[in-house]
Structure 1
Amino acid sequence: MMASQSKAFTGKHMAAIFVGGFAIIIAVNLLMASVAVGSFHGTVVDNSYVASQKYNGWLKQASASKVLGWQAVPHRRADGRVVVETIAAPAAARITATAERPLGAREDTTLTFTPQGQGRWLSNESLAPGRWQVRLAIRAGEQAWAGEAEIR
């Protein structure tokens, strides 16, 4: 009959497990930090104090936009140009927009629109494929509306 031989669990084994575990933790932390730094494209606001001072004005503008009752829904055509379909916006309104990439490398595009009739406007510029955050501004005389939408 053959006796099974088992090696004793020594301090060297425990040290190897301990060092290996911490090496994995450090490697994951370094990977996550590099991904976080690489995907951050800058500040949302340059000065948070100044932005906080403008906050009430932004709320006032948002409520004024809501009172107008205008709605705007943007979507991208196959050729990259953006179509904005509006509800209740005057036919003589002027629409402008800024499109920004919400993630990754910072990329901004200013869009201008030409009326197509029946509450539709078509951008003169096209957007590259991918995800965009679009900030729309509609002006008709003294009235102004602002809104945001995502285009994929």
Structure 2
Amino acid sequence: MMARMTPDGRRVVKPFTGWHMTLILVAGFTVIIAVNVLMATFAVDTFGGIVVENSYVASQKFNGWLDEARREKALGWKLAVARRSDGRLAVTLTGAPADARLEAEARHPLGRLPDVPMAFARDADGLYVSDAVLPEGRWTLRLRVDDKGQLWRTERTVL
């Protein structure tokens, strides 16, 4: 029941009708639908793309990937990445032979920026320094070290 006052001070009570309930339901569902559309828009706009092209094929290769990971771990190589003031990356690689070749691909986590392929050259201090400048922001760096056929791969987040 709804009450209101008349100009002469009398209280007038109006009954709660079906129209009132209809307005409440429509307003409530409008809010729910608007929030769902907003959240779905955010989800679609921030999804970077396909995780794997074909999940069945990926599942068939999974055990092979695990074997590769065990072989790579047995090498005992370790890696640390730092961003230099000039925007290039400096990588410290320990345990690997001095003539190992290092290359990487920087991927933007949300896929909004194109991938950045990177090659590395060893400097006088023994650090591997990238040839390309990595734009500011968060990147996933997929590194690959190759020493005469021995491969070692890892991923690092660069901020």
TM-score, normalization: structure 2? 0.86
CA distance in 2, matches of 1:41, 1:141: 34
- The alpha-carbon distance between structure 1 residues 19 and 105, as it changes in their structure 2 partners (threshold 3 A), is same
Ranges of 4+ aligned residues in structure 1 off by more than 3 Å: 2-7
Q: Give secondary structure in 2 for the equivalent of 1:33.
A: helix
Larger Rg: 2
Stretches of structure 2 lacking an aligned partner (at least 5 in a row): 1-8
Kindly report the root-mean-square deviation, in angstroms, between the aligned alpha carbons of the 2 structures: 1.7
Name the structure 1 match of 2:72.
65
Q: List gaps (5 residues or longer) in structure 1.
A: none
* Cα deviations by residue, 1:49-75 (Å, 9 ceiling, x for unpaired): 121122122111111111011011112
Quick check: 1:93–1:140 contact (8 Å CA) kept in 2? Answer: yes
The structure whose RCO (Cα within 8 Å, separation 6+) is larger is 1
2:47 corresponds in structure 1 to 40
CA contact (8 A) 2:108 2:114 kept: yes
| Count, aligned residues | 151
Aligned equivalent of 2:56, options 46, 49, 52: 49
Alignment of 1:19-38 (within 5 A): 19-38=26-45
Distance 1:49 1:62 in 2: 20
Which residue matches 1:132? 139
Residues in 2 aligned to 1:101 and 1:133: alpha-carbon distance in whole angstroms: 6
Contact 1:94–1:140 (Cα < 8 Å) also in 2: yes
